[in-house]
Amino acid sequence: MLGHINLMKIFTTIIILLSPVVLFGQGSNSLTAGQILDSSIKFSGGENRIKNIKSTDANYLLIQPDKSTAIVNEKIKTGQMYVQSVLSMTNVPQTTFFNGKVLSKVDGSSVIHVDSLNTIEEIKLRTYSQLQYGYKVLGYKLTRLPDKKFQNFDCYVLNAEASNGYITMNFFDKTNYRLLMVVYPNGNKSLMIDYVFQDNVLFNSHIINTFTGSNAMQELRLQNVSLNPEIAEIWFNCPYEKDVSIPPHIKTGHFESTNGTKTEFIRSTTSQDYKDETGRFVMKRFLKWWTYSDTYGLIDEKAIQNNDKSLESEILVRIISWNKEGYVCQWIAGKYTDTQDYKLKD
């Protein structure tokens, strides 16, 4: 089931995002903040369905204000852990790691371990795919504010406050209680333009973000989402203390995939040689490490021979996390993208 908002409504809601929030008088109905939140959860699939989602794995197309694009992969262990990795042929690669205790961010070659209570609280909320359900489980204090009427939307407005004082302002469509917009403590806004239902649970499929002091807009468009996949904990642990650096046992070696399509290869400093299940050589891809030391490019030997210059002939791979036993990575090749887990093969 797909929710639709016509172009005029999209234009209007973009104006909303770029406008200051001004609230008007209280609506005449007597719904409490808790009732509004519960109604939104019900519209989003219901508490029983939502709580049965223990993990999610989603890919988004990110469209930056300058119209450049990137792929965003987001993995969640509900209420526990979160990782978001951003990969692009043109933009700086980024990762946000949260393993339930430590929040770390990798931006290109830089590593930051975050101790801001507000930032940590925001990431804790992101461990819930449905923000409203996160408010409820985490015990946020809810306050109903005066309703807000826009040109095409009439909204209930709630403040949601964590025990540490972190507060978001939330706008719910009066017609169905869908969460339409969130205003964060720093003034940044997220507008949920469109949505899909996956296994009868709502996921936002088109999100527009704006940032305080700027007219620029960033878009996220959902490409796919998988519910209750197995996600290894290595994904959520930042392997770096200070600088991004891939250790020798990951840079070269004999590797075998542990999920997805079965893949086995030997990586040298200049290539990856692939084998089939019998150990027979199948193909070669030439390798070159990029400016960022966790990222490298691959091109098929046959693509060079055939002078194939299509986007799909080149693969950009970024090692997201690693340990002594193996690594996990994100890759893009033209319109194709995925993540993969690998182990060192004896």
Number of separate domains in the chain: 2
CA 223/CA 57 separation, integer angstroms: 11
Question: Could you read off the pLDDT of 73-117 as tens digits, one per residue?
Answer: 999 999 999 999 999 998 999 999 999 999 999 999 999 999 999
Same domain assignment for residues 135 and 51:
yes
Same domain assignment for residues 207 and 264:
no
Supply the pTM of this predicted model: 0.90
Residue-range definition of the domain harbouring residue 140: 25-227
Question: Could you read off the pLDDT of 171-213 as tens digits, one per residue?
Answer: 999 999 999 999 999 999 999 999 999 999 999 999 999 999 9
Same domain assignment for residues 249 and 182:
no
**Dihedral-angle region of residue 228 (phi above 0 means left; psi in -120 to 50 means alpha; beta otherwise):** left
Tell me how far CA of residue 31 lies from CA of 34, 44, 335, in angstroms.
8, 18, 46
CB-based contacts of 336, cutoff 8 Å, min separation 6: 312
Same domain assignment for residues 257 and 215:
no
CA 330/CA 142 separation, integer angstroms: 38
The pLDDT-based confidence of 300 (bands split at 50, 70, 90) is confident
Domain end call among 227, 258, 277 = 227
- Domain assignment present for residue 258? The answer is yes
Question: Could you read off the pLDDT of 3-42 as tens digits, one per residue?
Answer: 444 444 454 555 554 455 444 444 447 899 999 999 999 9
CB-based contacts of 234, cutoff 8 Å, min separation 6: 321, 322, 323, 326, 327, 328, 341
CA 9/CA 288 separation, integer angstroms: 46
The two three-digit tokens of residue 64, written as one number: 């930056």
Would you state the pLDDT for residue 305? 73
CATH of the domain at 288: 2.40.128
- Domain assignment present for residue 309? The answer is yes
